[in-house]
A and B are shown apart, each in its own frame.
Chain A
Amino acid sequence: MSKVKKWVDQRFPLSSFIKHDLVEYPTPRNLSYWWNFGFLAGFVLILQLLTGIFLAMHYKPDALLAFDSVDHIMREVNYGWLIRYMHAVGASAFFAVIYIHMARTLYYGSYRAPRELMWWSGQALLLALMATAFMGYLLPWGQMSFWGAQVITGLFGTAPFFGDEIVIWLRGDFAVGDATLTRFFALHYLLPFLIVSIVVIHLIALHHVKSSNPSGINLSAKNNIPFHPYFTAKDLFGLGIFLIIYSYFVFFNPEFLILAENNIPANPLQTPSQIVPEWYFLPFYAILRSVPDLLGGVLAMGLSVMIFATLPFLDRSKIPGGAKYRPIYRVMFYIFVLDVIVLTYVGAQMPTEFWTLVGRIATLIYFLTFALLPFLSKYEEKKLRQKGLPEEIEELIRCEEQYGRGGKK
């Protein structure tokens, strides 16, 4: 065994990789359970890849066969029901985990220097995840699948000059049809590999800048502990909790997140009485509907997803640490989270006058949070420093001004 190891190590840095990046990898000892969600996201990604590959062995991406092949998986394939429910619930779990992961990053300001590239690769991951989920949702070829794809691909029709041509090109037909289904299947299979490679970039960046931690301060070496066994144990415990919740949905309530309407085969000549996207798209869908002008709505929706990337620029405060030490930022964080929940709710409602109004206000608050951040973060910093910060913190700020964040330990 040790001979094999030696042979490999002379040709590939296997042992040193395991030692540096898994076992001894220095991790802040004060990480809370909020730091579990990155690991959980990685776990769900693997779960989705595995279940997806097995589903693809029985699924048929053909407009005439797709709906029945899903039925075939559910009724005839051995454990097909299990694999499909794992995959469907897994999609929701993926978003839940990612959204919590993002909220943690927001609360603790982990997107700030030197972790901007982690945040931006995360943004790329979010986009790829959304695209994958959207295309995957067409595959069962039910009514919601069909009309969801019809509406979202239709959004590209608002592009100036070539709108109609772009939509036809995307669909490969004048409406969503067989050509669309086949290409969505191909891309739904392709994108996860893209996701895996961005995850690798995300992790390389992580191992360069190291984990952030609840204090928001880069800890000195003596406050780091090896990843194994401390955080392998902590992550696995979190995984246990996650799996309990996940299994509840898979085994006891699998249809909870599947709209009943989607159990009716796609019908291009009849729209369901209300088109609702999956829950994880609802806040963005609500923003789309809140803007009276269609092109404006499409732009606002795109912006609402992409705007997270601007946070490292918008947050101008030099106060280290997360929302815990920043009273104004903390209030903004909670308002934002609440606002997203309101938008999620509004996105699922019929567009009556009342809900449109609520949606508009919530949309406004959504963007205002970002627009005000540069000013409020500066103001907050000024106020806090006037009141007097502990000398260590002032020292830290001076250090950072001089050497850049994370420049000096």
Chain B
Amino acid sequence: MSTSESDNEADLPEAKDRRHFLEKATCAVAGVGIVAAAWPFVSSMNPASNVLSKSTVEIDIGSIKTGEVKTVEWQSKPVFIFHRTPTQISAMQDSTGSEIDPQADDDRVLKPEWLVVIGLCTHLGCVPSKKQEGWFCPCHGSRYDNSGRILRSPAPKNLHLLPYQFLSADKLLLGKA
């Protein structure tokens, strides 16, 4: 396609610069195009809208007696709703948990008699089981107190909190503060 004359022309410095610029521009446009084309596929792996619609649930807590825990499902995760006794409340208010992740009990509850936490161990996500002094994780032996605060590793954090509000004295809305 080229004669020897235009070959020489193509070797001129400006021509080279232009060629390099064109190469880079082509790569950049192609790169953006590939990312844009990949996005729908990546995004399709995120939770679908029916999964997202599970994001809030209403829970009737009138039936939970003092000292009892009810486990409910929210966003496919277990949530512990714990109706604490006055002794448990005062014991928890007196401590800040352990030095692993210290936190005041007040910062973990809306009303002191109701503890609402996500029931997944912060280590690798097993469901801890209720014990007298709090929770015990069967998987690797983490312990939590009655405020869901971590007492013994390997778990690195207190049981996670979630947004919730009291719709009435015995109705909870999980998922929205």
Which residues of A are interface residues toward B (Cβ below 8 A)? 147, 150-151, 154-155, 168-170, 172-175, 177, 179, 183, 268-275, 289, 292-294, 351
Which residues of B are interface residues toward A (Cβ below 8 A)? 42, 45-48, 51, 71, 73, 75-78, 119-120, 123-127, 129, 137-141, 153-154, 156
The answer to whether A271 and B154 have CB atoms under 8 Å apart is: no
Chain B contacts of A155 at CB under 8 A? 124
| Given A179-B47, A271-B126, residue A174 in contact with residue B154 (CB < 8 A) | no
Q: Which residue of chain A is the closest to B55 with respect to CB atoms? A: A174
The answer to whether A154 and B124 have CB atoms under 8 Å apart is: yes
The answer to whether B47 and A173 have CB atoms under 8 Å apart is: yes
The contact sample of 6 A-B pairs, CB cut-off 8 A, is A151-B124, A154-B125, A172-B47, A172-B48, A174-B47, A269-B127
Chain B contacts of A179 at CB under 8 A? 47-48, 51
Chain B contacts of A272 at CB under 8 A? 138
Q: How far is the CA of A274 from the CA of B77 in the complex (A)?
A: 19
Q: Is the interface of A mostly helix, strand, loop or mixed?
A: loop
| Given A177-B76, A179-B51, A268-B76, residue A169 in contact with residue B45 (CB < 8 A) | yes
Interchain CB contact (< 8 A) of A175 among B48, B75, B156: B75
Chain A contacts of B137 at CB under 8 A? 271
- Per CB-CB distance, the 8 closest pairs between chain A and chain B, nearest first, are A174-B75, A175-B76, A271-B126, A154-B125, A271-B127, A151-B124, A269-B78, A174-B76
The answer to whether B51 and A275 have CB atoms under 8 Å apart is: no
Q: How far is the CA of A42 from the CA of B40 in the complex (A)?
A: 36
The answer to whether A177 and B51 have CB atoms under 8 Å apart is: yes
Q: How far is the CA of A292 from the CA of B47 in the complex (A)?
A: 32
Q: How far is the CA of A256 from the CA of B73 in the complex (A)?
A: 35
The answer to whether A275 and B47 have CB atoms under 8 Å apart is: no
Chain B contacts of A183 at CB under 8 A? 45
Chain B contacts of A271 at CB under 8 A? 126-127, 129, 137-139
Q: How far is the CA of A170 from the CA of B95 in the complex (A)?
A: 38
Chain B contacts of A151 at CB under 8 A? 124-126, 139
Q: How far is the CA of A270 from the CA of B46 in the complex (A)?
A: 25
Q: Which residue of chain A is the closest to B141 with respect to CB atoms? A: A351
Q: How far is the CA of A221 from the CA of B2 in the complex (A)?
A: 51
Chain A contacts of B48 at CB under 8 A? 172, 179
Chain A contacts of B156 at CB under 8 A? 293-294
The answer to whether A273 and B138 have CB atoms under 8 Å apart is: yes
Chain B contacts of A177 at CB under 8 A? 51, 76
Chain B contacts of A294 at CB under 8 A? 123-124, 154, 156
Q: How far is the CA of A289 from the CA of B47 in the complex (A)?
A: 30
The answer to whether A169 and B46 have CB atoms under 8 Å apart is: yes
The answer to whether A292 and B78 have CB atoms under 8 Å apart is: no
Chain B contacts of A173 at CB under 8 A? 47, 51, 76
| Given A151-B139, A169-B45, A294-B156, residue A268 in contact with residue B51 (CB < 8 A) | no
The answer to whether B78 and A150 have CB atoms under 8 Å apart is: no
Chain A contacts of B153 at CB under 8 A? 292
| Given A273-B138, A274-B138, A351-B140, residue A174 in contact with residue B124 (CB < 8 A) | no
Q: Which residue of chain A is the closest to B119 with respect to CB atoms? A: A269
The answer to whether A168 and B127 have CB atoms under 8 Å apart is: no
The answer to whether A269 and B51 have CB atoms under 8 Å apart is: no
Q: How near does chain A come to B48, taking the closest CB pair, in angstroms?
A: 7
| Given A150-B125, A151-B124, A154-B124, residue A269 in contact with residue B73 (CB < 8 A) | yes
